[in-house]
Amino acid sequence: MDLLDFIFPKTCVSCGKIGSYICRKCFSKIEFVGNPVCPECQRQAIGGKTHPGCKRKYGLDGLVVATKYKGPVRAAIQKVKYRFVWDIHKVLVDLVADSIWRYSLPKNVVLTSIPLFVQRKRWRGFNQAELLARDLAKRFGEKYQSDLLVRVVDTKTQVGLSREERKVNIKGAFKISQNSNVKSQNFIIVDDVYTTGATMKEACKVLKRAGAGEVWAMAVALD
């Protein structure tokens, strides 16, 4: 235990027990995604690859998710997002890293993240998806690019919106930053939660229209 842990001890996000962000008892309650699923239809898919019948010209090529968005994982993600306990992301990174063997990812990928609108990031002080992507890139020994995508529209939250409303809300929200060359490169876009995939798909579309190769989505949890 370091000095900070002694002064500000970690408490379980689910039950409040002192010692770690997710205690052993609550960890046993986490619902893992045992079988990879297609990012389009969310039915079982070998290695997480998009089903041939679900393929879209500018669509995602696959999806990596570690757990269901329930219980301790939901509590941990919300702590990061809304209570600014940013170092919980290290626990979430472990969950993804321990599940990666199930997925047939492309080689030589660049990890990036779903960006926040500039004013929102300034207010919050960090982007949780960026923290996840940076640490996952280190864990996998792959490249990481934080400023690849830029959020040009301050969209309202996707929470509570229908599938179609999410598509409309996020449309045109991203662009590729200046001087970024994505042609023929493979990318993994990282975020904390994958629901309908509208945000990831919009980011993917921007990358593929600029000439990117394979583009996968990666999230801690599937909602």
pLDDT digits (tens, 9 = 90+) for 38-78: 999 999 999 999 999 999 999 999 999 999 999 999 999 98
pLDDT-derived band at 3 (thresholds 50, 70, 90) equals very low
Q: What is the pLDDT of residue 103?
A: 96
Mean pLDDT over all residues of the chain?
89
Q: Output the pLDDT for position 9.
A: 80
Write down the pTM of the prediction.
0.91
Domains defined along the chain, listed by start: 1-30 (no CATH), 31-222 (3.40.50)
- Give the C-alpha separation, 7 to 13, whole Å: 18
What per-residue confidence (pLDDT) applies to 6?
53
pLDDT in tens, 75-126: 999 887 765 566 788 899 999 999 999 999 999 999 999 998 888 777 777 7
Query: Are the C-beta atoms of 23 and 15 separated by less than 8 Å?
Result: yes
Checking if the pLDDT of 136 tops 80, the result is yes
Arithmetic mean of pLDDT, 184-204: 95
β-partners of residue 175 are 150
Would you state the pLDDT for residue 5? 55
